Amino acid sequence: MKRRLFTAIASPLAAMALVLLPTAAQAERVHYGPNRAMIGSGIVTLGISYGASVIVGAQSDHPGDKSLFIPVAGPWMDLTTRGGCDAEPCGHETANKVLLVADGIVQAIGALDIVAGLFTPETVTTAKAPAAEPNVARMTWHVGPTVTSSAYGLAAVGTF
């Protein structure tokens, strides 16, 4: 009984494994141009963090926040205009400084990602399809449950 059950289950799985094997040869091709994925992620990273800086710079009354309109250097310039904390507790000034540092770091990462994308070649993996043979039937297969007098399992039927 166990041997028949194993045969009923293993045979269709082996047939599916043969059919699911890739038929196309993989070839890696290096595109000698800017890496579009790196440039795109850098634009998104820089754009989101710079957009937040512009909104804060436009709505803030602090005179140093006007430098937030300058990308990458603006948060660092604003940080230098922030004075010390004379009163205890400092209120929101410590949080503002932490956010300026975080914004400056994220903008710098985005800018570096764009620059690195300009100098890093893009790698594209393509699949070469084999030449089609004339009068070759298309491979099809179907898997379904099967019941015999002594076992249950899966059956595979197809044209190969």
3-state secondary structure the chain: CHHHHHHHHHHHHHHHHHHHCCCCEEEEEEEEEECHHHHHHHHHHHHHHHHHHHHHHHHCCCHHHHHHHCCCCHHHHHHHHCCCCCCCCCCCHHHHHHHHHHHHHHHHHHHHHHHHHHHCEEEEEEEECCCCCCCCCCCEEEEEEEECCCCEEEEEEEEC
Global confidence as pTM: 0.59
What is the predicted pLDDT for the residue at 19? Answer: 44
Given a cut of 80, is residue 111 above it in pLDDT? yes
Given pLDDT bands bounded at 50, 70 and 90, which one contains residue 6? very low
157 contacts 136 by C-beta, under 8 angstroms: no
Given pLDDT bands bounded at 50, 70 and 90, which one contains residue 30? low
Helices 93-119 and 36-59 meet at what angle, rounded to 10?
150
What is the predicted pLDDT for the residue at 84? Answer: 74
Given pLDDT bands bounded at 50, 70 and 90, which one contains residue 93? confident
Helices 74-81 and 93-119 meet at what angle, rounded to 10?
160
Given a cut of 90, is residue 124 above it in pLDDT? no
What is the predicted pLDDT for the residue at 115? Answer: 95
38 contacts 117 by C-beta, under 8 angstroms: yes
Give whichever of 14-28, 46-60, 72-86 has the largest mean pLDDT.
46-60
Given a cut of 60, is residue 3 above it in pLDDT? no
What is the predicted pLDDT for the residue at 43? Answer: 96
94 vs 80, residue with greater confidence: 80
Other C-beta atoms closer than 10 Å to the C-beta of 46 total 21
Angle at 95 between CA 89 and CA 99, to 5 degrees: 165
What is the predicted pLDDT for the residue at 153? Answer: 84
25 contacts 90 by C-beta, under 8 angstroms: no
